Amino acid sequence: MSIEQTKVSIVIPVYRAENTLERCLASVFAQTHSNLEVILIDDGSPDRSPEICDSYAQKDERIRVIHQSNTGVGAARNAGMSVMSGAYLFFLDADDYIVPETITVLVNRAEKTGADITIGNLRESGGRGLVRESPPYSRESILSEQQAIAQVRYELFYDPGYGVTAWNKLYRAGFLEEHGIAFENRRLLCEDRVFNTRCFIHRPRIELVNRYTYVYCIDASTITRSKIDNPVEKSLSAVEAMKDALDANQSADENEDLFTWFVFGQINQCARNFAIHSERPFKDIKAFLQQYRENDLVRRCLEEIGSGKHMEGISRTSWKRYARGLSRLLSRGAYTKASMILWLRFKVIEHR
């Protein structure tokens, strides 16, 4: 089969996306790779999104629409995966869009190398014509033997974290099917990272493509970017899901660093949510930290980072100091100081 004949399934969860969905779909129809299956999952959207989905399905036979009650982005993606028929799978958020060569570029690399996951590079659009390009990748491939290197693992899943999101990646469908990889149907914080960790523990061949294939629109606010409801509950569920995934594959020991940094990242993400959206951010961050540290897994991870463990993959000295310092404060129950650090950090970032 030629590359042009290779079928690619594009799964797009849709929720409150009436202002961005048509832009997203226009970018799909502009693809130079034409053998596409486009699966739109209307996740109980209360706006005009369902009508837009149905309208486009009438115009193009490659589009399939699934209407369901609101269950969250992970369950919506699973619904799309359950009916897909392509050799490859690409997730696209309805807020965002892709450049015309995206699928062609990613399929070409995947077919030439046998990659299980092929990752393009990223542009961020802040609206009003403001676009920021992510730095070029420092490597072209991440092979099985390289996946044990601390720096590679940290870069992939934490900083810059190009392995975290589900979008902007072309997944080989056979790889996902072979290992039974799917999203959690329950609502989690960082469900993409749990999904990609499930991929990672099966040692996929990963290819990195230095072409800007995806435009992430940070000014949008729909299914993936609005205020997080019940962030502590969703975060602890994510911690539990990550632990379960590692235990199920008997790989918890060899991936201890990934789990520890996942927990630390959850702390920062929850704090950021409170700092941006709460009417009393400092108090809510402090209450969150007190509740979060009661979890035995969280407490253990903080103790490990505070002691200097899992630092070998980090190149930035400032980040090592921040992580160790914050973890030490939390380990000894200094919630006021820790809350102030987090509140100020995200207040500064948000106003840049």
The domains of the chain are located at 3-217, 231-350
Contact 7, 85 (CB under 8 A): yes
Plot region of 250 (φ>0 → left; ψ -120 to 50 → alpha; else → beta): left
Pick the closest to residue 205 from 254, 253, 143 (CA basis): 143
Band the pLDDT of 254: cuts 50, 70, 90.
Answer: confident
Point out the least confidently predicted range of 38-42, 46-50, 243-247.
Answer: 243-247
Report pLDDT for 227: 67
Average pLDDT of the segment spanning 79-95: 96
Q: Which residue has the tokens 């491939």?
A: 141
Residue 195 pLDDT more than 70?
yes
Q: What one-character-per-residue DSSP string does 99-130 give?
A: -TTHHHHHHHHHHHHT-SEEEEEEEEEEETTE
Distance between CA 60 and CA 147 in Å, rounded? 41
Least confident among 80-84, 128-132, 225-229: 225-229
Q: How confident is the model at residue 348 (pLDDT cuts 50, 70, 90)?
A: low
Nearest Cα residue to 7 out of 107, 119, 112: 107
CATH of domain 3-217: 3.90.550.10
Task: Go through the chain and tell me how many residues it has.
Answer: 352
Instruction: Tokens for 349, please give them.
Output: 């970032």
Give the percent of the chain with pLDDT over 90. Answer: 71
Cis peptide bond upstream of 160, omega within 30: yes
CA–CA dist 208, 110 (Å, integer): 10
DSSP strand pairing (63-68 vs 130-133): unpaired
Q: In whole angstroms, what is the distance from residue 188 CA to residue 74 CA?
A: 8
Q: What is the pLDDT of residues 265-316, one digit of tens each?
A: 999 999 988 988 888 999 999 999 999 999 999 999 999 999 999 999 898 9
Mean pLDDT along residues 240-248 = 89
Q: Is the pLDDT of residue 5 over 80?
A: yes
pLDDT tens-digit map of 196-231: 999 999 999 999 999 999 999 986 544 444 567 788
